[in-house]
């Protein structure tokens, strides 16, 4: 690789000129040939990846434009260079629901269901749905954050011996959602 010392006029140059692309990397100006567009049609998977990245980049730009969110992402967890990169990364990674704890759920009003969920930045909401064996929703609602977990309190009683399915869905700030389902006999 050849190295050149650019004059102060060209230092910091970014963009395209003729068949060359100028970009900044680690404080250096890097020049590469302009990439050639493929003549092959994109596969559905390639289109899906481009759309996902485009949505993530749009979220990153919206965070960069919002001073409050920019601060949240700039000071948040991770080893990111700036708020845009942190937001882009967050948008590309969905939250994870690790567990649905139903040991104290006996089918009575007021019984708790505890959800353990995490995200690389923050889980913003967890919703819970309880359905019967036929898939009919018996109840649903939002869990409350408490002591590093999320807690949902049952609002309807379920007949003893019934089998229900509990679905917990965690959502992060960019709107990514992930669900976990657990079947329980009360």
Q: Does residue 61 lie in a domain region?
A: yes
Q: pLDDT tens, 80-89?
A: 678 999 999 9
CA-closest candidate to residue 175, choices 71, 114, 69, 93: 93
Q: Which residue has the higher pLDDT, 171 or 32?
A: 171
Q: What's the CA gap between 42 and 59, in Å, rounded?
A: 24
Asked if 144 contacts 150 with a C-beta cutoff of 8 angstroms, the reply is yes
> 109 and 86, same structural domain?
no
Supply the pTM of this predicted model.
0.77
Q: How many CB atoms lie within 10 A of CB 132?
A: 14
Last residue of a domain, one of 29, 60, 92: 92
Whether residue 99 has pLDDT greater than 90: yes
> 104 and 163, same structural domain?
yes
Position 140 confidence tier, pLDDT thresholds 50, 70, 90: very high
> 173 and 107, same structural domain?
yes
Lowest mean pLDDT among 33-42, 57-66, 95-104, 132-141: 33-42
pLDDT score of 75? 84
Q: Does residue 30 lie in a domain region?
A: no
> 137 and 110, same structural domain?
yes
Give the count of domains, the chain: 2
Q: pLDDT tens, 8-52?
A: 666 667 788 888 888 888 778 888 888 888 888 989 999 999 999
- 36 φ/ψ sector (left φ>0, alpha ψ -120 to 50, else beta): beta
**What is the domain extent for residue 145?**
96-185
> 112 and 82, same structural domain?
no
| Chain mean position to CA 20 | 35
């Amino acid at each position: 690789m050849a190295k050149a010392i650019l004059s102060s006029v060209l230092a910091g140059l970014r963009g395209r000129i003729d068949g060359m692309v100028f970009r900044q990397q680690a404080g250096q100006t890097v020049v590469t040939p302009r990439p050639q567009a493929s003549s092959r049609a994109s596969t559905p998977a390639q289109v899906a990846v481009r759309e996902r990245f485009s949505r993530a980049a749009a979220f990153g730009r919206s965070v960069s434009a919002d001073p409050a969110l920019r601060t949240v992402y700039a000071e948040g967890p991770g080893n990111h260079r700036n708020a845009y990169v942190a937001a882009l990364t967050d948008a590309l990674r969905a939250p994870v629901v690790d567990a649905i704890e139903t040991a104290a759920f006996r089918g009575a009003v007021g019984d708790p269901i505890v959800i353990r969920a995490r995200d690389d930045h923050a889980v913003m909401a967890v919703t819970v749905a309880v359905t019967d064996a036929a898939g009919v929703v018996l109840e649903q609602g939002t869990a409350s954050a408490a002591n590093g977990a999320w807690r949902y309190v049952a609002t309807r009683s379920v007949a003893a011996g019934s089998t229900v399915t509990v679905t917990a869905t965690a959502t992060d700030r960019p709107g990514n959602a992930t669900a976990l389902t657990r079947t329980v006999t009360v």
